[in-house]
């Protein structure tokens, strides 16, 4: 599995690779009969008073505020982004007066959560950012955590590991008695643990922020955390500030006349994975005032090319980002001597996103950065256009030494 800028050596996507579980056969008993999103007749009064919670950037998350509840539609499949392909939830607090026959096609979750399990550091970042770390009681691959407080919680036994080698430990999860398990999706029917948990009464919710086409769309998923943790105003405020700073920085960078060329990733076992021109990785580079050498490749996500194709396009590029797990340019050349042919390597303009690592190897880029695209963009602008960001110290990025 590859990260959104190139080859992933652990960190966020290793969690996704190991913990993605199938919802292909468990759409939570939702009925795609044309009325599934509208609830039963008993809910008519509630529907009339609901207020849409407009999303500013996220495309995979829809929500409506009711009296004592928030109703969610999560579009987390690769099929068409329609209601029929979505997953429905009812986040119910103690003030709600909803009968059992109201919204029968929605999974009910009692909020605010007091106990939760997640499978990714990007999910853990939501709890940390909203200062509700104590709610998180289980997680996959604890050694990949960066947040110091969460690592201390794990060391003290308050945060338990629920998965390391792909299969979730159902016994541990059930022992933790979570009010919700946050996960990703996959179409692989081999993994059925979450379907088993659903049948055992453990709600499971897919977090689809990684499918968003824009960095700000990913960051807006903090609002889901706000609804789940009783921190709605805080989440809205945090996202609003991030969005404002991002857009202001983008405006400055895109106004620059001279846009340097940039490429990402590194060859691994004969394949070089690069982001397509419609990916959120490409959005970052464009918004930072750079010209991505593969920007003309249509579509989102990544695709694999051979070394020669990358060299042809990027051999003379000004900057190189995300060269795998490389800690120095010398290490890159030792790994593959052909990398010396790239002008960015020769000129010492190679940057990696591993400036913040925990003692166990947890990379904060795959944790807090998903909620801080403003800081990621500020880093990239400082790399490409230092004249615009003289006072900005790099947060997630570092220049590789020789």
47 pLDDT more than 80: yes
271 and 368 share a domain?
yes
386 and 269 share a domain?
yes
| Predicted pLDDT of residue 84 | 57
Tell whether 4 is covered by a domain: no
Residue 95 is given by DSSP the state T
Model confidence at 212, in pLDDT bands (50, 70, 90)? very high
Give just the sign of the alpha carbon dihedral 6, 353, 361, 164: negative
Closest CA to 269 of 347, 172, 180, 335: 335
Mean pLDDT of 221-247: 98
**Sequence-ordered list of residues with C-beta below 8 angstroms from that of 298, at least 6 positions apart, any chain:** 276, 277, 278
32 pLDDT more than 70: no
Tell whether 259 is covered by a domain: yes
336 and 379 share a domain?
yes
CATH assignment at residue 202: 3.40.50.1980
Percent pLDDT > 70 in the chain is 84
Picking from 161, 192, 211, the residue at the C-terminal end of a domain is 211
13 pLDDT more than 60: no
- The owner of tokens 């930072």 is 288
Indicate the angle between helix axes 222-229 and 121-129, nearest 10 degrees: 60
- Alpha carbon separation from 136 to 142, 181, 308 (Å, rounded): 12, 10, 46
Tell whether 228 is covered by a domain: no
219 pLDDT more than 80: yes
Q: How many domains does the chain have?
A: 2
Mean pLDDT of 210-232: 97
Tell whether 384 is covered by a domain: yes
pLDDT tens digits for 110-134?
Answer: 999 999 999 999 999 999 999 999 9
205 and 254 share a domain?
no
| Predicted pLDDT of residue 11 | 37
pLDDT greater at residue 270 or residue 233: 233
| Predicted pLDDT of residue 31 | 35
247 and 367 share a domain?
yes
Tell me the whole-structure pTM to 2 decimals.
Answer: 0.89
Percent pLDDT > 90 in the chain is 72
- The owner of tokens 């943790």 is 229
Mean pLDDT of 251-256: 97
| Predicted pLDDT of residue 95 | 81
Q: Which tokens go with 28?
A: 């939570």
Mean pLDDT of 225-252: 98
130 and 191 share a domain?
yes
Picking from 187, 211, 235, the residue at the C-terminal end of a domain is 211
Query: Average model confidence (pLDDT) for the chain?
Result: 87
350 and 287 share a domain?
yes
Tell whether 95 is covered by a domain: yes
Q: Are 205 and 88 in contact, with CB atoms under 8 Å apart?
A: no
| Predicted pLDDT of residue 15 | 37
pLDDT tens digits for 305-331?
Answer: 999 999 999 999 999 999 999 999 999
Q: Which domain holds residue 363?
A: 243-399
188 and 333 share a domain?
no
Tell whether 367 is covered by a domain: yes
Q: How many CB atoms lie within 10 A of CB 48?
A: 8
82 and 201 share a domain?
yes
Q: Are 116 and 178 in contact, with CB atoms under 8 Å apart?
A: yes
271 and 137 share a domain?
no
Q: Are 250 and 377 in contact, with CB atoms under 8 Å apart?
A: yes
296 and 365 share a domain?
yes
Tell whether 74 is covered by a domain: yes
Tell whether 20 is covered by a domain: yes
3-state SS assignment for residue 364: helix
Lowest-pLDDT range of 29-38, 204-213, 342-351 = 29-38
Residue 401 is given by DSSP the state P
201 and 141 share a domain?
yes
| Predicted pLDDT of residue 280 | 94
Picking from 167, 192, 211, the residue at the C-terminal end of a domain is 211
């Amino acid at each position: 599995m590859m990260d959104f800028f190139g080859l992933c050596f652990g960190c966020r996507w290793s969690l996704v690779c190991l913990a993605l579980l199938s919802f292909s056969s468990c759409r939570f008993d939702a009925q795609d009969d044309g009325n599934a999103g509208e609830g039963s007749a008993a809910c008519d009064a509630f529907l009339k008073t609901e207020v849409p919670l407009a999303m500013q950037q996220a495309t995979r998350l829809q929500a409506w505020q009711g009296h004592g509840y928030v109703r969610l539609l999560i579009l987390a499949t690769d099929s068409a982004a329609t209601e029929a392909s979505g997953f429905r939830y009812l986040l119910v607090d103690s003030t709600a007066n909803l009968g059992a026959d109201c919204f029968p096609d929605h999974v009910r979750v009692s909020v605010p959560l007091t106990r939760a399990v997640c499978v990714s550091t990007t999910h853990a970042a939501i709890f940390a950012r909203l200062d509700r770390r104590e709610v998180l009681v289980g997680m996959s691959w604890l050694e990949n955590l960066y947040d110091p407080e969460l690592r201390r919680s794990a060391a003290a036994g308050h945060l338990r590991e629920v998965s390391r080698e792909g299969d979730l430990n159902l016994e541990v999860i059930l022992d933790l008695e979570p009010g919700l398990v946050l996960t990703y999706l996959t179409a692989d029917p081999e993994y059925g643990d979450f379907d088993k948990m659903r049948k055992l009464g453990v709600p499971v919710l897919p977090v689809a922020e990684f499918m968003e086409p824009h960095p700000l769309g990913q960051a807006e998923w903090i609002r889901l955390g706000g609804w789940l943790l009783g921190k709605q105003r805080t989440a809205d405020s945090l996202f609003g500030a991030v969005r404002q700073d991002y857009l202001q920085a983008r405006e400055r960078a895109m106004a620059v006349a001279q846009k340097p060329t940039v490429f990402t990733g590194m060859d691994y076992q004969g394949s070089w994975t690069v982001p397509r021109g419609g990916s959120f990785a490409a959005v970052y580079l464009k918004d930072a005032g750079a010209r991505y050498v593969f920007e003309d490749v249509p579509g989102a996500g990544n695709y694999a090319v051979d070394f020669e194709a990358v060299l042809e396009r990027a051999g003379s590029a000004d900057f190189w980002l995300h060269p795998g797990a490389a800690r120095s340019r010398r290490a890159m050349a030792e790994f593959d001597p052909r990398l010396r042919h790239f002008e960015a390597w020769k000129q010492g303009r190679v940057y990696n996103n591993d400036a913040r690592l925990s003692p166990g190897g947890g990379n904060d880029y795959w944790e807090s950065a998903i909620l801080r695209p403003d800081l990621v963009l500020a880093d990239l602008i400082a790399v490409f256009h230092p004249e615009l960001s003289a006072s900005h110290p790099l947060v997630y990025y570092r220049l590789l030494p020789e």
